[in-house]
Structure 1
């Protein structure tokens, strides 16, 4: 399906799921409208009612694409990448006084990493393209979840103590995700 925006067409798809509230997701080339299964209106009406928000977000998205195109991807071999991650894990697990379980490297669709309640860590193989300081941030972020399994003030305080510029690094990660998409490396 398509919706008109300033004389141009924007592709959108409608998906019905078991959700409470409608949600609009901006994709790289389209809009995804997630609706509750019992939604009783026209999807187009909902999009029209959110038109200003959608246009603002699309503009922000275009700006992100422009900025991200200048970001440099770092090509690392698998051994170099794993060694880098394991080095940061060794350092920060000691600093935090935590012991982690299994470490997995796998392709993830929307996350840089994850930490299970059992202390097992997973890292997106796409972080192999990031600069060292961003890999460091991802590793510390996941290890900090071993002390705080949420994103509370205490959690962010742990990051602040060890990486004072964590906010900048987190923001830059958004641009790298877009950069990876531009290279066809994300789904």
Structure 2
């Protein structure tokens, strides 16, 4: 891993070459990841320098997110309580939406809170067990709404708006909880 100087402080970065069309910069909790096309011919450092303002802004946003997230409290639910909570929300909202769903799985996920397959199978991240009920409710409704709209269209967000008018705030809080879970060493 190399160092990149921003604001007089060095940020670690790693370069990964993949079969991608365009370069991509990912800010990690402790480093910057630069994803480059396999045929990239320039210097990675030059690309980072050209995006310096964006990186600085994002690093400051990241620091603020860490500050806010450090004040969030984590729940301590056992597996049975967590599954019961999710299944209760599933029963309620599947009736409200008039939808069915297939298999329900609980598993560790690296970058998602939940998912809904085209067959209606639902997966929920076990890390949700640490979150307040209203955030678990949002994720359950989000995944069930995909039974009506398999995309994030205006209609999809309208469904969420109808049942949970503050869905946008909850979605933003979820981002902070991901950071909070990272601070506890519970995420990759």
Classify the TM-score, shorter chain: over 0.9
What's 2:115 paired with?
114
Matching of residue 34 in structure 1 with residue 35 in structure 2: yes
Q: Secondary structure at the match of 1:122?
A: strand
Q: Secondary structure at the match of 1:35?
A: strand
Structure 2 alignment gaps of length 5 or more? none
In structure 2, distance between residues paired with 1:96 and 1:144 = 8
- Normalization by structure 1: what TM-score? 0.99
In structure 2, distance between residues paired with 1:8 and 1:131 = 36
Deviation at 1:56, TM superposition (A): 0.6
What pairs up with 1:1-187 in 2 under 5 angstroms? 1-187=2-188
Structure 1 alignment gaps of length 5 or more? none
**Equivalenced residues, count:** 187
4+ aligned runs moved over 3 Å, structure 1? none
Deviation at 1:8, TM superposition (A): 1.6
Q: Aligned-pair RMSD on alpha carbons?
A: 0.5
- Normalization by structure 2: what TM-score? 0.99
Q: Secondary structure at the match of 1:3?
A: strand
Deviation at 1:40, TM superposition (A): 1.3
In structure 2, distance between residues paired with 1:120 and 1:100 = 6
Deviation digits for residues 17-46 of structure 1 (CA, Å, limit 9, x no counterpart): 111111000000000000111111111000
Deviation at 1:6, TM superposition (A): 2.0
Deviation digits for residues 84-107 of structure 1 (CA, Å, limit 9, x no counterpart): 000000000001111100000000
In structure 2, distance between residues paired with 1:114 and 1:6 = 39
Q: Secondary structure at the match of 2:118?
A: coil
